[in-house]
């Protein structure tokens, strides 16, 4: 994709908060990203586990409990990103995933969604951002200011694990920051809240990851 084409597409993108009526579009787009990663990042077994998650009943609860932003070009869903607080005293938030539709890879949509999630986390008053992602995304995340903590595995399903990198970044400071109430719906969603890693950035897994960097999540995700 030429630089001119990327700029044109980037100018057309509109970010919107997730609404339940978008569920079918989100599932379809997430599935398209996962299938694109077959053989290059994910095994067929891992893809199958992700698809079971995406089309399962629990997925709608996960999406409504997380802070999800969707990216659109006119009526086409081209990406999404989500984050949630961690249950560690309110200092750390997790970016759970960043998905970019395969047809729009390279247009800067992944960067746009990542930066939007980081800004929302900072505005909410968190000090740290964590995430876990497939190893091929490490260079992209390092360029965006993340530090590599360790490598390990996380569960997609009870009997399916994938290798991931654990990363962390200081949340940007905001002039006015408001922390979510601990009593708000889904505010206590922390590690092990039922969301496994996804190839986008990382859907949070059902188990704590190994070796360290507790509370970080991964997922196959498309760069930009």
Q: What is the model's pLDDT at position 187?
A: 45
| Strand, helix or coil for residue 128 | strand
Q: What is the model's pLDDT at position 192?
A: 40
28, part of any domain: yes
- For residues 120 and 7, what is the distance between their CA atoms, to the nearest angstrom? 24
CATH number where 101 lies: 3.40.630.30
Average pLDDT of the segment spanning 3-13: 77
Q: 44-54 and 58-65 helices cross at what angle (nearest 10)?
A: 70
Largest Cα–Cα distance of the chain, in whole Å? Answer: 48
Average pLDDT of the segment spanning 104-115: 93
41, part of any domain: yes
Q: What is the model's pLDDT at position 9?
A: 78
pLDDT-wise least confident of 4-13, 153-162, 178-187: 178-187
What are the tokens at 148? 């590599």
Single pTM value for the model: 0.79
Residue 213: pLDDT band by 50, 70, 90 thresholds? very low
94, part of any domain: yes
Sheet holding 13-17, edge to edge: 13-17, 67-73, 76-85, 92-100, 128-133, 160-170, 147-157
| Residue partners of 65: CB distance under 8 A and separation at least 6 | 84, 185, 186, 189, 193
Please provide the DSSP assignment of 8-41 as one string: HHHHHEEEEE--GGGHHHHHHHHHHHHHHTBTTT
190, part of any domain: no
What's the chain's average pLDDT?
Answer: 80
224, part of any domain: no
Q: What is the model's pLDDT at position 175?
A: 39
- 63-75 b/e (C-beta count within 10 Å ≥ 16 → b): bebbbbbbbbbee
203, part of any domain: no
Q: What is the model's pLDDT at position 16?
A: 97
Domain span at 57: 3-170
107, part of any domain: yes
Stronger pLDDT, 117 or 155, i.e. the higher one: 117
Overall domain count for the chain? 1
pLDDT above 80 (res 180)? no
Q: What is the model's pLDDT at position 217?
A: 34
pLDDT above 60 (res 204)? no
What are the tokens at 43? 């095994």
């Amino acid at each position: 994709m030429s630089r001119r084409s990327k700029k044109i597409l980037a100018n057309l993108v509109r970010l919107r908060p997730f609404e339940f009526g978008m569920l079918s579009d989100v599932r379809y787009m997430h599935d398209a990203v996962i299938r694109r990663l077959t053989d290059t990042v994910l095994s067929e077994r891992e893809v199958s586990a992700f698809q079971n998650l995406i089309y399962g009943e629990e997925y709608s609860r996960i999406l409504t409990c997380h802070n999800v932003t969707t990216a659109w070009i006119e009526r086409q869903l081209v990406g999404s990103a989500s984050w949630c607080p961690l249950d560690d005293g309110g200092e750390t938030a997790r970016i759970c995933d960043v998905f970019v539709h395969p047809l729009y890879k390279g247009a800067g949509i992944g960067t746009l969604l990542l930066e939007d999630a980081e800004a929302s986390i900072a505005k909410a008053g968190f000090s740290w951002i964590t995430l876990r992602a497939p190893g091929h995304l490490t260079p992209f995340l390092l360029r965006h200011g993340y530090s590599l903590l360790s490598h390990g595995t996380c569960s997609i399903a009870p009997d399916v694990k994938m290798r991931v990198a654990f990363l962390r970044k200081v949340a940007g400071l905001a002039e006015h920051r408001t922390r979510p109430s601990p009593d708000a719906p889904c505010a206590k969603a922390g590690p092990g809240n039922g969301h496994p890693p996804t190839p986008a950035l990382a859907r949070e897994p059902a188990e704590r990851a190994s070796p360290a960097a507790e509370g970080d999540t991964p997922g196959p995700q498309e760069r930009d």
